[in-house]
Amino acid sequence: MNFIDELKWRGMLQDMMPGTEEQLKKEMTTGYLGIDPTADSLHIGHLVGVMMLKHLQIAGHRPIALIGGATGMIGDPSGKSQERNLLDEPTLRYNQNCIKKQLEKFLDFQSNIPNAALMVNNYDWMKKFSFLNFIRDIGKHITVNYMMAKESVKKRLGE
């Protein structure tokens, strides 16, 4: 059974982009799951994503666990009304290692197979990105009016 058929059989697939099934049949494809290391353990909300990565790897494709160390460090509230606790780098690294140990129970990170799972941390490349670079390269595309139109921004500023 291929990846798509497996997901359909399990009731885990509702919609997909046109061409997805053809791509998965054509060659090894990479899929990722983003996980913020704000705690030292995965929770039930990660289950479906981890299951998808497991089935992706079984089908011969490459899973990537993308740890959001940068996101965890800045305390991204993800639409919540309260800020997350800000975590330091050692705590984030500890949490990342704990999460990897849990993921290793489901994904094969160790073997020499071509589709061995990979874990990357966005902090490793974002730590080199300066505030000035961000404002120059990214900020120029986001207006104050655009931000003020966001319900999450309005909510946070109203508190």
- Of the two residues 62 and 125, the one the predictor is more confident about is 62
Q: What predicted TM-score, i.e. pTM, was given to this entire model?
A: 0.78
- Please state which of the ranges 106-115, 118-127, 147-156 shows the lowest mean pLDDT: 147-156
56 pLDDT more than 90? yes
- Of the two residues 157 and 90, the one the predictor is more confident about is 90
DSSP the chain: --HHHHHHHTT--S---TTHHHHHHHS--EEEEEE--SSSS--GGGHHHHHHHHHHHHTTPEEEEEE-HHHHHHT--TT-SSPPPP--HHHHHHHHHHHHHHHTTTS--SS--TT--EEEETHHHHTT--HHHHHHHTGGG--HHHHHTSHHHHHHHH-
Write phi, then psi, for 120 (nearest 5 degrees): -125, 155
pLDDT tens-digit readout, 63-121? 999 998 888 887 656 555 566 677 888 998 999 999 999 999 999 998 899 999 999 99
Average confidence (pLDDT) over 118-147? 88
Average confidence (pLDDT) over 29-56? 95
142 pLDDT more than 60? yes
* Ranges in the chain annotated CATH 3.40.50.620: 3-128
Give the CATH superfamily of 3-128: HUPs (3.40.50.620)
Average confidence (pLDDT) over 30-55? 95
